[in-house]
Chains A and B, each alone.
Chain A
Amino acid sequence: MTFFVKVLQIQSIVHCLIYIDLLILSFSSLNPAVITVWFLSVSAIAMFCNHPVITILTLTGAVLFYLIRNKNGHLRSHLFFLVLFLILSIANPIVSHNGATVLFVMNNNPVTLESLLYGINSSAMIVGVLYLLRSFTQIMTSEKLLYVTGRLSPKLSMILSMAIRFVPLFSKQGQKVNDTQKVLGLYKDDNFIDDIKGHIRVFSIVSTWGLENGIITADSMEARGYGTGRRTQMTRFGFTFSDGAVLAASLVLTALCAAAVAAGKISFNFYPRLISSEFGFMGIVGSAAYALLVFMPLLIETEVKLRWNYLMSKD
């Protein structure tokens, strides 16, 4: 009995917090526009600035975020990224012979330390951004992306959402046509040429059907007053206080870091020798801002988990 009371209490606390907009359930439940801004700013800075400090921050943040979301799964992706990282790291010293410190000579071409480090830095950046994009693709479902693009261009967003809807529709109709053709005895699977011809015919039928069906859909939409009002969404993505806070934080941190990068405080030259710019106060603030930005989703997720544990452990 007391257990149920406890659960009810926790639920009511959580509901209260949701009600007054103060609780972030998780990073992925934020408004899609906020998530897009975060991803765009992190990957933009990561790709503009090749300073090893930024690269390391990006890589750690991206990998940790991916791990915290997917736990121990997706081992194959990790393996793929590792192999990609190694190949990309070696590619640069093989083709580029710039740099002052010669490690050894291969086929009469010097292999330099600088170009090796440049390769490692570049591939770490690429792998970091790829990890980020993996998470982005997981979080931003097509519906969320339509929400974001729908604000920019309702027509374009409409085409995309219709196309997404047509894909399963076509495969379903294709299956039906295929079955019918087979039952009618028009083609057999075991004859290779017959099979290909049959599939081409099915494809042709389905595309004609799709075009006609599309026109009917369009007419029906027109008749029901498509385009007379604002486009609405099935899921409601409200813009809460926490959305605003995360958005503001991302923008401010990005601006701080971008200012430091633009002022040349966070820059790095690999050739001919490794030279890092003097960081100074601005550089340190910029890097710290970037670190905060990259780790923001991790902080949010951890905070949520800690609060949950705290609520569960109460009394």
Chain B
Amino acid sequence: MILIQSPKVRSFIRFVVPFVVIPLIVLWGAVVFDRKKHIIISLAVAFFALLLFASGFERKSTGSRRLVIVAVMTALCFAGRFIPFLKPIAALTIITALYLGGEAGFLVGALSAVLSNFYFGQGPWTAFQMLAWGMIGFIAGILAEPLKRNRWLLLIYGAVSGVAYSMIMDIWTVMWYAEKFNFTLYKGALITALPYTLSYACSNVIFLFALAPSFGKKLGRIKKKYGV
């Protein structure tokens, strides 16, 4: 594992990787090249997710406790993906990010995608799911303070991120099928995906409404009791 020693470099990477590097790679792969470079994109995204992780987690005594909490949340997300129609992954990712920070949220989102795809099928889309869910978690981590204070804001964030997730995944669908990005196809994909979009947005709102306060209490308690 790459360990980054200087805290300045760490915080630099923490912001540059998710907001500049990963979107740039995705766009570069999608727009600049005529041909499809999804495998390279997925590898790059996976690599930078790793780097982000390295920047967040130092090798300290609480390190492995934090790792295990992330593993527990990932397992809950994976188990939740089997619920029909409702998808709690994004909601649980957001909750983790609120109470354990952006990197933990990124990890839970990204790793749940990898893990659940053992069952639902791995593919190049795994990378896009990793990116989409990871970013939902990471942004929630940045907005943690206002989101924790205002419950309505949290629910709106959940709904918006559900719609955004569906739209990101449709970009990927279109790019895989057509060589260049085709707006007509994208519109078609968005319309056919409407039930899914609704399901994502609704389940985010429902699960955030139902789980956020109680999970906040649980995670807060663990944090206080064990100093994670």
How does the 8 Å CB contact mask read for B205-218 relative to A, with 1 for contact and 0 for none?
A: 00000100011001
Closest residue of chain A to B37, judged by CB? A48
B59 near A227 with CB under 8 A, answer yes
Say yes or no: is A226 at the interface (Cβ < 8 Å to chain B). yes
User: How many Å lie between the Cα of A162 and that of B176 in the bound state?
Assistant: 33
User: How many Å lie between the Cα of A280 and that of B111 in the bound state?
Assistant: 45
Identify whether the interface residues of A are mostly helix, strand, loop, or mixed: helix
Closest residue of chain A to B182, judged by CB? A96
Q: How far is the CB of A148 from chain B (nearest CB, A)?
A: 12
B69 near A166 with CB under 8 A, answer no
User: How many Å lie between the Cα of A133 and that of B36 in the bound state?
Assistant: 18
Identify whether the interface residues of B are mostly helix, strand, loop, or mixed: helix
User: How many Å lie between the Cα of A270 and that of B123 in the bound state?
Assistant: 26
Chain A interface size range: 35 or more
B78 near A215 with CB under 8 A, answer no
B184 near A95 with CB under 8 A, answer yes
Contacts of B53 in A (CB 8 A): 153, 155-156
User: How many Å lie between the Cα of A219 and that of B67 in the bound state?
Assistant: 11
B123 near A130 with CB under 8 A, answer yes
Contact A226 B218, CB 8 Å, known A134-B121, A159-B107, A163-B78:
no
User: How many Å lie between the Cα of A88 and that of B72 in the bound state?
Assistant: 39
Spot the interface stretch: A17-25, A60-68, A206-214, A299-307.
A206-214
Say yes or no: is B16 at the interface (Cβ < 8 Å to chain A). no
User: How many Å lie between the Cα of A159 and that of B49 in the bound state?
Assistant: 14
| Contacts of B185-214 to chain A: CB distance below 8 A | 185, 188, 210, 214
- A positions within 8 Å CB-CB of B: 40, 43-44, 47-50, 88, 91-92, 95-96, 122-123, 126, 129-130, 133-134, 136-137, 140, 142, 145, 152-156, 158-160, 162-164, 166-167, 170-171, 200, 204, 207-208, 210-212, 214-215, 217-219, 221-222, 226-227
Known: A214-B68, A227-B64. 16 other contacts (CB 8 A): A44-B40, A47-B38, A47-B176, A48-B37, A91-B177, A96-B182, A145-B118, A154-B1, A162-B67, A163-B78, A215-B226, A215-B228, A217-B68, A219-B65, A222-B61, A227-B59
